Amino acid sequence: MERVRTIAAAGHVGRVIQLQGWLHQFRELGRVNFLIIRDGWGTFQAVVSDPATLERLRSTQVESVIEVRGVVVAEPMAPGGAELHETEVTILVPVAEPPPLELNKREMKANLETFLDNAVLGLRHPKRRAVLRLAAAAMAGFRATLDAQGFTEIQTPKILGSATEGGANVFTVDYFGRPAYLAQSPQLYKQLAVGFFERVYEVGPAFRAEPHATTRHLAEYVSLDVEFGFIEDHTTVMALLTAVIAGMIGQLQHACPSELALLDARLPEVPARIPSIFFPEAQQLLLERYGLDCRGEPDLAPEHERMLGQWAAEVHASDFLFVTGYPTSKRPFYTHPSPTDPRYSNSFDLLFRGMELVSGGQRLHQYQDYLATMQTRGIAPEPFAEYLKGFRYGIPPHGGFAIGLERFLMQLLGLSNLRLAAIFPRDLNRVVP
């Protein structure tokens, strides 16, 4: 007999079906006894009345792998409007003891550390795995939007010969006895790839040796990277990013209605044109509206981002806000300055509900500009020899951005910690499981 998935079972009313999955819950209420089976997609309720089966279930641990057969009966009181009757149960893989986490309660009560310690089981919880299924849909929406616009997917190396992105937060690898480094982003490679394909994207791991244990940093995260050529300036990039975010949200809506419902997720509207504020004007606004004086500072602190997010929600009714024109000196060396006022850059951050979700902008594309800015900034050109070679032989005006997948999910779902959006998070203290 063909196995039916739990999410399709209610469509088989009147027929005998077979389900496979895990013993999610067994509840003896006396008059009526319920078994709930969970499979990879959902759960389904079965009424058990056969005394021998009941006897067997009493000594069967939850999470045992089971096969259930019965007839589907419409039942308005049952979740999904149907349940299984005349239930026969086969134990496929028995479990000997109860798991260390309660996987069958609506909310998992474990605290964050206990959950993370037991994530190999905890991710079986319907609400926890739903986050990862949204992650998959977000990646699919990202790729589909870009594929439709002529982008090519690339997979760039994660082991690098030099720590070209600078900063202390780079991991060192023992590479056949020599030091090598884990990629902090595919930035330099994706820019070079504009020379082959014009339009590229990558979905892959990025590594940051963040020495701080915050709720919004991970040592390894999934970066959704885009870079493309023949742009006008950073506004071309912002327009593409808007389409990409809309594509990701659209895919969630399309592919994951039950996961969104389970998590009470409030999907944002993506405006056709996301509101945008120029960096110094944002600082002025923070002062005038919220009494926060950060004029002269080269970046926005998390608190400032929160306030700006609140302002965008109140004034523009938008969950998103572009902040443009961050001071050039504070952005990476490849950032393109504004042609009208080079103190400010053709760069942007996209705030989503008051947190930086995306960084991006226009990059330098002239070889001479790279040499000049590296000299000004005191960056030795040798480790960048191959990167610079790309620009020496013609790269068009280009730009791009990077979306942190876990941050996207954290803000979308209002998670309290970025670790709840990663499958097996890595941080200062955690490299297991």
* Residues marked as catalytic: 208, 210, 216-217, 356, 359, 407
Q: Which amino acid is at 418?
A: L
Show contacts with a second copy in window 65-84 (CB under 8 A): 65
Least gap, CB of 228 to a second copy (angstroms): 9
Show contacts with a second copy in window 160-219 (CB under 8 A): 160-162, 171-176, 178, 180, 182, 189, 192-193, 195-199, 203-205, 207, 209, 211, 219
In the set 78, 123, 313, 379, which binds a second copy (CB under 8 A)?
123
Nearer to a second copy, 99 or 271 (CB): 99
In the set 54, 73, 78, 139, which binds a second copy (CB under 8 A)?
139
Least gap, CB of 392 to a second copy (angstroms): 7
DSSP designation for 269: P
Q: How far apart are CA 364 and CA 370, in angstroms?
A: 7
In the set 49, 90, 155, 375, which binds a second copy (CB under 8 A)?
155
Q: How far apart are CA 110 and CA 97, in angstroms?
A: 18
Residue 148 in the binding site for a second copy (CB under 8 A): no
Nearer to a second copy, 220 or 319 (CB): 220
In the set 25, 34, 80, 99, which binds a second copy (CB under 8 A)?
99
Residue 233 in the binding site for a second copy (CB under 8 A): no
Q: How far apart are CA 330 and CA 218, in angstroms?
A: 22
The kind and range of the H/E element at 17 are strand 16-28
Least gap, CB of 276 to a second copy (angstroms): 25
Q: Which amino acid is at 248?
A: M
Determine how many CB atoms are found less than 10 A away from the CB of residue 419. Answer: 23
Least gap, CB of 50 to a second copy (angstroms): 23
Residues 6+ apart with CB under 8 A from 113: none
Nearer to a second copy, 1 or 77 (CB): 1
Burial 115-124 (b: 16+ CB within 10 A, else e): bbbbbebbbb
Phi, then psi, of 9 in degrees rounded to 5:
-60, -40
Show contacts with a second copy in window 18-47 (CB under 8 A): 20, 22, 39-41
Phi, then psi, of 240 in degrees rounded to 5:
-65, -45
Helix axes 367-377, 385-392, angle to 10 degrees: 140
Q: Nearest-CA neighbor of 331 among 303, 360, 370?
A: 360
In the set 13, 54, 64, 88, which binds a second copy (CB under 8 A)?
64
